[in-house]
Amino acid sequence: MWGTLRYFEDFQIGQRIAFGRYTVTQSEIIEFAKRYDPQVFHIDETHAVTAELGGIMASGWHTTAIFMRLAVDAYLGDAAVLTSPGGRIALAGAGEGGHIISGEAVLSKRDCRYPSPTAA
């Protein structure tokens, strides 16, 4: 995190912010899934569906939660915003144990939804 608050004006169209990287383990995948998304292909290595998929797959919710943490660490944690600006996430494949999760934010537009209090 930057340590200094960044405001609307500090972000430029076309700006790219690279996130860190996180290697997810199979035990994390299973632990998360047992608690929040207990489908067989997330928790049971021996199930036929899991075998057909090639092994345990991470829940999309788990992958997205890790991605969100990376985004907060990279730039959202020091952005002077009350809510997330929204966006799109594309999962490039089913997450398996040992896969690395990473990403980047690209600012494609800046919409000022609220007028500046100093604007006349």
Each residue's pLDDT tens digit in the chain (120 positions)?
556 888 878 888 999 999 999 999 999 999 999 999 999 999 999 999 888 888 899 999 999 999 999 999 998 888 887 666 667 777 766 566 778 888 888 888 877 666 666 655
- Cα–chain-centroid distance for residue 41? 21
Q: What is the CA radius of gyration of the chain?
A: 18
Residue 70: which of 28, 103, 100 has the closest Cα? 103
Element (H, E) at 71: helix 60-74
Cβ 105 vs Cβ 34: under 8 Å: no
